[in-house]
């Protein structure tokens, strides 16, 4: 590795912040340049919803717990307690009573989810061949020739023991595992993460391992007016088949429904889940990366990075970024009111300020040197 090309955490203050392009921003930019500019914390205005959506709370708790589990060997339940404590310290004081109750509920969901994840690891042996080198590592790679700094965060760096191959691990918390599996091959992010790891460690990256975890709650199956559990649970059920079966039986018991009847009602779903097995809830997907694809993706990334920088520059000069082409497809956008106001020529900044809030703080980085020491095959 040629040290001068890479900046580590202590030098962050010297980075040209306005030229930093975060890999994770690409998808947000592609989906809607306007929302990206308003919400991006690095190149944009850094607004976020006043209340964190459930999936963000759950995702961050799970990510942090996995980080501690894989890096320090902290048991998952203890790791989650730490994650919950940190999250509570940061957000708890400003939560309303209703939010606090919801937060407690999400913590329980995360607890069950990780408990099931732990069982799945033991059954599947998914980690048996992996050495975890580091987790949640932020990198900044200045590229003078392109006048940008490529930034991003690897969820994990792992080495496969049997082959010695270096892999990026990405945790993906999602409502729907099959859909997530379908979507990953179209993502630019893993290729750029692989490109970055090759730059930093000066050795080939064999691939990206997606650690996909469903975030649905097996215990919150909605009940119909007649007291029966809704059949619509299939799309939202979480974690393991075992948990799903237990839930059905528990619901049936609470409602005084014979267990056989409840299971009969769900026969189709159970058959489906039996076929899908654990892959409904936890899944490892390994994507190999070839040098050619990484290189071509990198050039595509640089082009998009320049588009993003130009969009941000023009936005700072008062040119509103283009919206997503079809607003009917973005009803859940937290910036929707401001977006509609902007198109009508109204004061959208005032609406942004009143309906959203500014982000604050950034995650910590890990020095590249400490990573090198942990990589056994450098
Ligand atoms: S409402 Fe739709 S078009 Fe407007 S900022 Fe949000 S995602 Fe973009």
Å from CA of 30 to ligand 1 middle: 12
Query: What's the predicted TM-score (pTM) here?
Result: 0.74
C-alpha pair distances (Å), 205 with each of 3, 60, 129, 141, 289: 19, 26, 16, 17, 7
The ligand 1 atom nearest the CA atom of 31:
7
Å from CA of 241 to ligand 1 middle: 37
Q: Atom 1 of ligand 1 has which residue's CA nearest to it?
A: 336
Q: What is the pLDDT along the chain (378 residues), one digit of tens a residue?
A: 333 333 333 344 445 566 788 888 888 898 899 999 999 988 889 998 888 888 889 889 999 999 999 988 999 999 999 999 999 999 999 888 988 998 998 898 888 888 888 888 888 888 999 999 888 888 888 888 888 888 888 989 999 999 999 999 998 887 766 666 666 666 788 889 999 999 888 889 999 999 988 776 544 455 566 655 555 544 444 434 555 566 666 766 766 767 666 666 555 554 555 455 555 678 888 888 888 888 888 999 999 999 999 999 999 999 999 887 776 668 778 899 999 899 888 999 999 999 998 876 544 444 455 554 455 444
């Amino acid at each position: 590795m040629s040290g001068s090309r890479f900046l580590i955490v202590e030098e962050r203050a010297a980075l040209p912040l306005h030229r930093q392009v975060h890999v994770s921003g690409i998808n947000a930019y592609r989906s809607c340049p306007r929302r990206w500019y308003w919400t991006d914390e690095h190149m944009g205005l850094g607004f976020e919803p006043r209340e964190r959506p459930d999936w963000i709370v759950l995702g961050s708790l799970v990510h942090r717990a996995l980080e501690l589990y894989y890096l320090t060997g902290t048991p998952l339940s203890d790791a989650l307690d730490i994650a919950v404590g940190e999250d509570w310290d940061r957000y708890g004081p400003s939560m309303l009573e209703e939010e606090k109750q919801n937060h407690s509920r999400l913590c329980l969901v995360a607890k069950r989810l990780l408990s099931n994840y732990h069982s799945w690891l033991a059954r599947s042996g998914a980690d048996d061949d992996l050495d975890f080198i580091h987790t949640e590592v932020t990198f900044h790679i200045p590229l003078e020739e392109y006048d940008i700094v490529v930034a991003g965060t690897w969820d994990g760096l792992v080495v496969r023991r049997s082959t010695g191959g270096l892999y990026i691990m990405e945790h993906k918390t999602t409502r729907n595992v099959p859909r997530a599996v379908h979507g990953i091959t179209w993502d630019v992010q893993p290729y750029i993460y692989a490109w970055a790891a090759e730059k930093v460690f000066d050795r080939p990256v064999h691939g990206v391992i997606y650690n996909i975890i469903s975030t649905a709650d097996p215990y919150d199956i909605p009940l119909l007016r007649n007291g029966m559990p809704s059949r619509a649970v299939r799309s939202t059920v979480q974690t393991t088949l075992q948990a799903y079966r237990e839930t059905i039986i528990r619901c049936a018991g609470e409602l005084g429904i014979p267990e056989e009847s409840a299971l009969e009602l769900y026969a189709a779903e159970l058959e489906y889940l039996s076929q899908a097995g654990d892959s409904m809830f936890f899944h490892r997907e390994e994507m190999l990366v070839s040098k050619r694809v990484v290189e071509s993706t990198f050039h595509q990334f640089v082009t998009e990075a320049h588009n993003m920088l130009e969009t941000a520059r023009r936005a700072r000069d008062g040119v509103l970024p283009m919206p997503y082409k079809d607003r009917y497809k973005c009803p859940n956008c937290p910036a929707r009111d401001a977006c509609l106001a902007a198109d009508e020529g109204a004061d959208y900044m005032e609406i942004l300020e009143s309906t959203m809030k500014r982000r604050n703080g950034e995650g910590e980085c890990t020095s590249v040197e400490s990573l090198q020491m942990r990589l056994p095959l450098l």
